[in-house]
């Protein structure tokens, strides 16, 4: 038996389908942690049983109670492409020429690293290689090298792309079960990577040589509890230059570390009363947007002054964010995304919607089809489809009715 707060749930029911999410909440905002796999499509069935201790209240907004949120209208089929892939927890598209890109992704429950060729608005799977249990993310290191973070082996598995095949060439130890890996720098076959944990407070900076002349050695630094989805930022309040920022789920805060001293203890940029799920900077670097999982609002941090602004959400909150500009942002949740245009004080001027194919926990803005418009790659972590939604995104979103 696994316990969710005071409610006991049979293990077999929780493990069915193998999907997992670190947190979900009662509407009252009380966190319920899972240490095992939880299928989200069971939430409707479990609603009364699992959430029996929760009092369900409508979210209050200025002027009264928010009306029920309507599902977005269906966009045109030509506005998107669906790529079949099972429970994609992480991945990255890299484009080489106009309309020619490659997409590396990890299938979390299948234990696979997968390579796709994207040409214009078509996709073709090239290769699919096994790794140990629960790969969580993948990133390009160069045009021919990719790294995948793998929980069971506590490693970064590095592959070389040879033609249309993925060939594993190295396994770099991390020192913990990694959730995320990002590229910090690359020069003449030398790569610096940052790995962050699924759970725990330590992150690891890893230096790796492509020719493997010496073993990759991780340098651990204590950051915060569950720092998910780190990102490079060009500005940090009170400091010259940029560095790296991350949302800390269990500590409910956002922290940043400067390029000047990557091994230093991070600075706390903001602390929240809700889970800080995902943080991403606006294109100019002026704002760091933060997806808050509960509380009917999200946030942004002024990366020059440190000012914190809250943003009203039409839903409980969101689990992923992708800023299109300083004042135009995409938020993602289960089966939908909402786009918000904001004023200088973070007041919502307009909200529009786009339907997605599942629980949308990863977003990447990139021009996939080479038409000069930013497209959005949506990783649906509990479903079998990756969405590629073509721009212009604001114009193709629909207004809330």
pLDDT number for residue 58: 35
Measured CA to CA, the distance from residue 18 to residue 12 in angstroms comes to: 10
pLDDT at 213: 65
Q: What is the pLDDT of residue 97?
A: 80
Whole-angstrom distance, CA of residue 159 vs CA of residue 170 = 7
Check whether 199 has a pLDDT greater than 50.
yes
Q: Are 360 and 333 in contact (CB under 8 A)?
A: yes
What are the E-state strand segments in 68-214? 80-84, 88-97, 100-107, 112-119, 122-130, 135-140, 145-150, 155-162, 165-173, 178-187, 190-197, 202-209
Q: According to the model, what pLDDT value does residue 77 have?
A: 61
Give the separation between CA 32 and CA 204, rounded to whole angstroms: 28
Q: Is residue 288 within 8 Å of residue 255, measured between CB atoms? A: no
In tens, the pLDDT along 327-336 reads: 999 999 999 9
pLDDT band for position 8 (50/70/90)? very low
Instruction: Find the mean pLDDT for residues 5-31.
Output: 33
- The pLDDT tens digits for 83-138 are 999 999 999 999 998 778 999 999 999 999 999 999 989 999 999 999 999 999 99
Residue environment code for 46-62, b if the CB has 16+ CB neighbours within 10 A, otherwise e:
beeebbeebeeeebeee
Write out pLDDT tens, residues 259-304: 999 999 999 999 999 999 999 999 999 999 999 999 999 999 999 9
**Where is average pLDDT lowest: 177-191, 210-224, 358-372?**
210-224
Give the mean model confidence (pLDDT) for residues 373-386.
95
Please state, rounded to an integer, the average pLDDT across all residues of the chain: 84
Residues 6+ apart with CB under 8 A from 93: 101, 102, 103, 118, 364, 366, 368, 377
How far CA 243 is from CA of 197, 215, 272, 299, 383, in Å, comes to 19, 26, 22, 20, 33
Confidence band for 217, pLDDT divided at 50, 70 and 90: confident
pLDDT digits (tens, 9 = 90+) for 24-69: 333 333 333 333 333 333 333 334 333 333 333 333 333 333 444 4
């Amino acid at each position: 038996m696994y316990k969710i707060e005071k409610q006991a749930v049979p293990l077999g029911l929780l493990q069915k389908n193998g999907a997992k999410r670190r947190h979900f909440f009662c509407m009252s905002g009380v966190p319920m942690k899972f240490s095992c796999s939880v299928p989200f499509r069971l939430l409707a069935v479990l609603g009364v049983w699992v959430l029996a201790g929760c009092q369900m209240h409508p979210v209050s907004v200025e002027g009264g109670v928010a009306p029920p949120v309507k599902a977005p209208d269906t966009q045109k089929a030509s506005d998107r492409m669906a790529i079949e892939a099972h429970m994609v927890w992480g991945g990255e598209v890299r484009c080489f020429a106009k309309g020619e890109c490659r997409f590396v992704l990890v299938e979390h429950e299948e234990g696979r690293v997968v390579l796709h060729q994207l040409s214009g608005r078509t996709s073709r799977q090239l290769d699919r290689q096994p790794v140990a249990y629960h790969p969580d993310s993948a990133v390009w290191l160069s045009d021919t090298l990719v790294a995948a973070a793998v929980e069971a082996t506590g490693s970064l598995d590095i592959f070389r792309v040879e033609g249309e095949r993925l060939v594993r060439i190295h396994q770099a130890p991390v020192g913990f079960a990694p959730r995320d890996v990002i590229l910090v720098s690359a020069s003449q076959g030398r790569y610096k990577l940052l790995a962050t944990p699924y759970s725990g407070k330590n992150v690891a900076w890893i230096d790796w040589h492509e020719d493997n002349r010496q073993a990759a050695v991780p340098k651990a630094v204590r950051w915060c509890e569950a720092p998910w989805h780190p990102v490079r930022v060009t500005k940090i309040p009170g400091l010259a230059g940029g560095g790296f920022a991350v949302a800390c789920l269990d500590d409910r805060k956002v922290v940043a570390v400067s390029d000047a001293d990557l091994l230093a203890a991070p600075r706390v940029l903001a602390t929240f009363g809700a889970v800080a799920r995902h943080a991403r900077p606006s294109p100019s670097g002026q704002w760091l947007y933060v997806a808050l999982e509960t509380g009917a609002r999200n946030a942004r941090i002024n990366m020059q002054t440190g000012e914190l602004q809250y943003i009203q959400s039409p839903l409980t909150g969101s689990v992923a964010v992708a800023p299109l500009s300083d004042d135009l942002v995409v938020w993602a949740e289960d089966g939908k995304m909402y786009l918000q245009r904001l004023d200088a004080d973070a007041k919502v001027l307009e909200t529009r919607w786009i339907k997605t194919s599942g629980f949308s926990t990863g977003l990447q803005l990139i021009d996939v089809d080479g038409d000069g418009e930013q497209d959005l790659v949506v990783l649906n972590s509990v479903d079998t489809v990756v969405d590629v939604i073509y721009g212009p995104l604001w114009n193709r979103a629909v207004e809330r009715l």
